[in-house]
Each structure stands twice: as structure tokens, then as C-alpha cells.
């Protein structure tokens, strides 16, 4: 299938969030959200749509080098900016994991109706978002075929004693070194 080829200048997009946008805005519950739906739809409907979710410190533009590779492999890709990031509105709401997962659900419902097959790819805090979405928001919104977690952050549960130890400032460094040592030998 024919797929959208990004201009060569797109490789610098992560350093330049004002680069010309390829997407649109959709009005959601808490405000307008910028999204990009790139590539051709699979005519047979066999390939899941790749939904790429960025981390909290930047916008979806930083995922474009990865998105380019997904497009070259023939995937259709959806990405968006969280509220308060890059080209999305900044509503006066509490920003938490529920808001991000709800926004992901709302974007999918608005842009990809009819309960599509998707693979969710989350980078940094986007990994926590897709995990929360899959657990709490995906029913009737999307048929999740898989998730990809890249440098995921935010999956911390302070009720688990092992995480209290692992995240303590100095103790955490020692714990991480000891726990990782058997895996680093190979």
C-alpha cells in the first residue's frame, strides 16, 4: 500500500515543535485536541491501527521518527497531543492518569469510530497512559491487539513495599544495582 512520506526536514521536528503540522483538531469533552492520522487505511482491515502516545514533557511531534518507520511498514498511525501540550488546548482541569486515559479514549472514539483494532504504543508517560486506558477505558472503544511500552514511566504503585525500597533515593540506587547485576552478566 501507498503510505505518506514525510519530508526530510521532519527529522528535526523534535527540536522544532512549530514545524508545519499535518494534523487537525477535534473538539473533545475538555477542549480541542490536536491529532494526526497518517498513512493509508488497510483495505482488508487486517492490520491494526498503530496508536502512538507521547510522554508528558513534549508533544506527539517527538514520535515522528518512529512514526515514519511504521508508515514505511504500511501501518496507519494515529497520534495526538495531550491537553496542555504542543497544539492541544490547555483546559482548567486536574491533569492526572485518568484525564490522559480518558483523552486517549475520546480521541479514538472521535477519529476511529466503530471499535477498531489497535496496537497501542506508549513512550515514557504515554506507556502509563496506554496501560490505564487498556485497563479502564478500552471496553467498546477499541479492540486492543497489543501494547508496546517504550522507556515507560509512571507505573509506580506506592502501596507495594518493593517499590518503596526501589524508589528511595540512595537505597534505590543500591537496590537497582544488585537487582540488575544477574541480568548484566550476559
Q: 1 pairs with which residues across the strands? A: none
Give me the chain's average pLDDT, please. 80
Residue 185 has pLDDT above 60, yes or no: no
For residue 171, pLDDT beyond 70: no
Pairing relationship of beta strands 31-38 and 117-123 according to DSSP bridges: unpaired
Amino acid 178: pLDDT: 55
Phi, psi of 179 (to 5 degrees): -70, -35
Q: What is the pLDDT of residue 30?
A: 97
Element (H, E) at 80: strand 77-80
Whole-model pTM over 0.85: no
How far is Cα 62 from Cα 87, in angstroms, rounded to an integer? 13
Region 172-178: mean pLDDT is 49
Q: What is the pLDDT at residue 179? A: 52
pLDDT tens per residue, range 95-137: 998 999 999 999 999 999 888 999 999 999 999 999 999 999 9
Taking a C-beta distance cutoff of 8 angstroms, is the pair 135, 125 a contact? no
DSSP letter for 10, please. G
Sequence-ordered list of residues with C-beta below 8 angstroms from that of 182, at least 6 positions apart, any chain: none
Phi, psi of 64 (to 5 degrees): -60, -35
15 pLDDT higher than 50: no
Binned at pLDDT 50, 70 and 90, residue 22 comes out as: confident
- Determine the Cα angle at 16 with ends 12 and 17, to 5°: 125
Q: Is-contact 97 40, C-beta < 8 A?
A: no
- Closest Cα to residue 107, out of 48, 51, 41? 51
- pLDDT of residue 143 exceeding 50, the answer is yes
Give the pairing type, strands 31-38 and 24-28.
antiparallel
Whether residue 84 contacts residue 156, with contact meaning beta carbons closer than 8 Å, is answered with no
What is residue 169's predicted lDDT score, i.e. its pLDDT? Answer: 43
Judge whether 51 and 78 are in contact, CB under 8 Å: yes
**The C-alpha cell of 85 is what?**
501540550
Q: Which pLDDT belongs to residue 42?
A: 87
pLDDT at 29: 96
pLDDT tens-digit profile of 41-97?
Answer: 888 888 999 999 999 888 999 999 999 999 989 999 999 999 999 999 999 999 998
Q: 125-136 and 97-111 are packed helices; what angle lies between their axes, rounded to 10 degrees?
A: 70
Amino acid at each position: 500500500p501507498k503510505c505518506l512520506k514525510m519530508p526530510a526536514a521532519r527529522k528535526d521536528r523534535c527540536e522544532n515543535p512549530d514545524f508545519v503540522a499535518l494534523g487537525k483538531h477535534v473538539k473533545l469533552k475538555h477542549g480541542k485536541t490536536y491529532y494526526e492520522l497518517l498513512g493509508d487505511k488497510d483495505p482488508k482491515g487486517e492490520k491494526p491501527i498503530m496508536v502512538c502516545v507521547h510522554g508528558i514533557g513534549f508533544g506527539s511531534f517527538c514520535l515522528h521518527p518512529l512514526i515514519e518507520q511504521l508508515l514505511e511498514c504500511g501501518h496507519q498511525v494515529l497520534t495526538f497531543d495531550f491537553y496542555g501540550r504542543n497544539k492541544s488546548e490547555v483546559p482548567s482541569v486536574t491533569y492526572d492518569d485518568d484525564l490522559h486515559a480518558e483523552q486517549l479514549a475520546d480521541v479514538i472514539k472521535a477519529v476511529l469510530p466503530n471499535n477498531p483494532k489497535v496496537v497501542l504504543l506508549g513512550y515514557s508517560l504515554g506507556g502509563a497512559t496506554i496501560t490505564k486506558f487498556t485497563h479502564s477505558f478500552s471496553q467498546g472503544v477499541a479492540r486492543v491487539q497489543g501494547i508496546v511500552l517504550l522507556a515507560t514511566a509512571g507505573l509506580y504503585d506506592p502501596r507495594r513495599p518493593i517499590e518503596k525500597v526501589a524508589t528511595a533515593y540512595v537505597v534505590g540506587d543500591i537496590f537497582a544495582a544488585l537487582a540488575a547485576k544477574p541480568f548484566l552478566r550476559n
